[in-house]
Structure 1
Amino acid sequence: MEVLEVKGLKKHIGNRQIIKNIDFSIKEGEIFGFLGPNGAGKTTTIRMLVGLIAPSSGNIKIAGHDIGAERERALSNVGAVVENPELYTYLSGRENLMQIARVRNIPKEDIEQIIEMVNLKERIDDKVKKYSLGMKQRLGLALALLAKPRLLILDEPTNGLDPSGILDFREIVKNVARKNGTAVFISSHMLSEVQQLCDTVAFINDGVIKSVESIEDGTIKNDTEIYTLITKDSSNTAEILKGCNAVTEVQQQENEFTIAIKHDSSHLVLKLLIENGIDVKEIFKKHQELEERYMELVEGGRRL
């Protein structure tokens, strides 16, 4: 089931169009990354998702409720950590959680489950002013999760965290998505984190979503796959590759070729080369890193 549906979303500020007709959706249990340079439209999109500003046109539905027509019902399904979480530093972690729990009538057992989930059990009764940045981020996440939201929105959640803090945060978010079926929207500039954490990534630039793509085992799933090929006969190899329908791009450096092949078609290319008497010394797939895809879509050039 789609927890978040965004269709035809636009936002004008004065005469400037910030968001230009974007569409995307997030399913239950899906971790969705939102990538783009500064000024691409990430923050404006988040502000619309959490109801801080209204779209100029288009629709945002959260758990089936339109944020324009059913604002309160829609936003009741959202938990968010945007920038630094607002915490009462003179209170303990538990007291911070209790402030929200009392207002929302959240039972004590639910609070204990959340404390366990974010790995704060040993320090939950300490004053927040004694917390590290990573612990404050985890407490902010706990506050966002108290009401068991269907959609969790995180804006640069690992900013300033050390490697250990990043690892902890990553595992917590994965557990939230897997165990609770929570849809997670993460806006981040840390490409490596998105690659290791997310199931899907949207690339946004200049208010336009350039592509929405799947990530599997830390690798972008794409229509084409990049291979390195080494042969003994470079001139004939180049001619055959350029005439092959399964090959979309060829780069050559002496007897080494970097080629883009249509998905699941590498066996056809290899068969064609062998049938034409080409001595293939080596062929292997290059797993496309998120950074490479980012450069291709946002910076405007593929780096084979």
Structure 2
Amino acid sequence: MKEIMISTGRITKNFSGKEVIRDCRISVERGMVYGFLGKNGAGKTTMFKLLLGFLKPTTGTATVLGMDSVKENAKILKHTGSLIEAPVFYEHLSATDNLLFHLAYMGLENMEVEPALERVGLPGTGTQPVRKFSLGMRQRLAIARAIVHKPEVLILDEPVNGLDPVGMREMRLLFRQLVDQDGMTILLSSHLLSEVQQVTDRIGVIADGRLVLEEDTEEIRRNHPCDIEDYLIGVMEGGQLHE
């Protein structure tokens, strides 16, 4: 049995009395790309923030690398890379300086940043101020920032946002490389179902704050060879529990 890298135990989250996450349990094994799907407002970003300790659960627990997201969130952040919502940078600083600043914040020194820029398709851009970057370049830089410290786990919210089809394909290949060659474990969300089914090993679907499907991507593909997107959309919209 593979090691569980990310898990939640009957986690709920309320905002002003409204339950956004309801008794949600996910489990991500080591060396896996796990796709987390749901309509806008279903609770995907809230779940990611709970895992990283940016939010505290109302009830239940979230664990990353065996560490409690509330009690040990500083440790979790050192061993994870993340991209949550629109990335924010120091606009006047170069791409390199932004990455170096991030490493310093993490308490990490003597790490090279150019390899991370090269891996995301930004070679030779390190001296450019970020204010001159296009939307796609910013997204690539955000992914470089997530991987620059060589984390064990990546948690990525809509990581291919703003990328053209070529960029999407490059990131898809990078994510597989990070898992297969670097030994990372990736949890990602995306509204692009075609991307998710191509890059993931397992898919979880959240609807109205509850996990309504968690199944190997290959199994879903085998059972729905001609209508996988229609099937997943139906699950997201219907919210019925699938065993």
Give your verdict on TM over 0.5.
Answer: yes
For residues 66-87 of structure 1, the C-alpha deviation after alignment (integer angstroms, 9 at most, x for no partner) is: 1123232233222111122112
- Following TM superposition, by how much is the alpha carbon of 1:221 offset from its aligned partner in structure 2, in angstroms? 4.7
Are 1:297 and 2:228 an aligned pair? Answer: no
Give, in whole Å, the separation in 2 of the partners of 1:102 and 1:12. Answer: 34
Asked whether the equivalents of residues 52 and 73 of structure 2 are also in contact (C-alpha less than 8 Å), the reply is no
Structure 2 vs 1, CA of residues 9 and 165 (structure 1 numbering), >3 Å: closer, same or farther? same
Query: 2:230 is aligned with what amino acid?
Result: E
2:135 counterpart residue number: 133
Does the alignment pair 1:220 with 2:232?
Answer: no
- SS of residue matched to 2:8: strand
What SS class does the counterpart of residue 189 from structure 1 fall into? Answer: coil
Instruction: Number of aligned residue pairs: give it.
Output: 237
Query: 1:213·1:221 contact (CA, 8 Å) conserved in 2?
Result: no
CA separation of 1:88 and 1:71: change in aligned 2, threshold 3 A: closer
Q: CA deviation at 1:288?
A: 4.4
Q: Is the 8 A contact 1:48 1:55 kept in 2?
A: yes
- What corresponds to 1:106 in structure 2? 109
Provide the C-alpha distance between the structure 1 equivalents of 2:170 and 2:15, rounded to a whole number of angstroms: 38
The structural deviation recorded for 1:301 is 10
Instruction: Give the stretch that moved more between structures: 288-297 or 172-181.
Output: 288-297
Q: Retained in 1: the 8 A contact 2:13–2:57?
A: yes
Deviation at 1:202, TM superposition (A): 0.6
| 8 Å CA contact retained: 1:106, 1:147 | no
Q: How high is the TM-score relative to the length of structure 1?
A: 0.71
- The separation in 2 between residues aligned to 1:296 and 1:58, in whole angstroms, is 28
Rg bigger for which structure? Answer: 1
State the match for 1:72 in structure 2: 74
Q: Distance in 2 between matches of 1:185 and 1:205?
A: 17
Quick one: percent identity of the two aligned structures?
35
Aligned pairs for 1:187-206 within 5 A = 187-206=189-208
Quick one: distance in 2 between partners of 1:54 and 1:101? 25
**Which has the larger strand fraction?**
1
Q: Report Cα offsets for 1:72-103 as digits up to 9, x if no partner.
A: 22332221111221122222211211222334
Q: One-letter code of the match for 2:232?
A: Y
1:81 is aligned to 2:83: yes
Instruction: Kindly indicate whether the alpha-carbon contact (under 8 Å) linking 1:101 and 1:107 is maintained by their aligned counterparts in 2.
Output: no
Provide the secondary structure at the position in 2 that maps to 1:171.
Answer: helix
State the distance in 2 between where 1:100 and 1:300 align.
41
Residue in 1 that maps onto 2:150: 148
Alpha-carbon distance in structure 2 between the residues aligned to 1:28 and 1:113: 24
Q: Which residue of 2 aligns with 1:56?
A: 58
Unaligned stretches of 5+ residues in structure 1: 227-286
TM-score norm. by structure 2 comes to 0.88
Tell me, what secondary structure is at the counterpart of 2:160?
A: coil
Asked whether the equivalents of residues 83 and 157 of structure 1 are also in contact (C-alpha less than 8 Å), the reply is no
Partner of 2:19: 17
Contact 1:220 1:288 in 2 (8 A): no
Distance 2:140 2:204 in 1: 25
SS of residue paired to 1:89 = coil
Amino acid corresponding to residue 108 of structure 2 in structure 1: N
For 2:6, the equivalent position in structure 1 comes to: 4
RMSD: 2.2
Separation (CA, whole Å) in 2 of partners of 1:50 and 1:288: 36
Please tell me the residue identity of whatever aligns with 1:296.
Answer: G
SS, match of residue 98 in structure 2: helix
Deviations 1:100-132 (A, max 9, x none): 233423324x42332332222232222222322
- What code does the residue aligned with 1:106 have? E
Cα distance in structure 1, aligned partners of 2:188 and 2:28: 11
Q: How far apart are the structure 2 equivalents of 1:54 and 1:134?
A: 32
Retained in 2: the 8 A contact 1:8–1:57? yes
Match of 1:172 in 2: 174
Q: 1:246 aligns to what?
A: none
* Pair 1:199–1:44, CA change in 2 (3 A): same
Deviation at 1:55, TM superposition (A): 0.4
- Provide the rounded CA distance (Å) in 2 between the counterparts of 1:47 and 1:137: 19
Question: Contact 1:87–1:96 (CA<8 Å) still a contact in 2?
Answer: yes
Change (3 A) 1:132 1:300: same
What SS class does the counterpart of residue 105 from structure 1 fall into?
Answer: coil
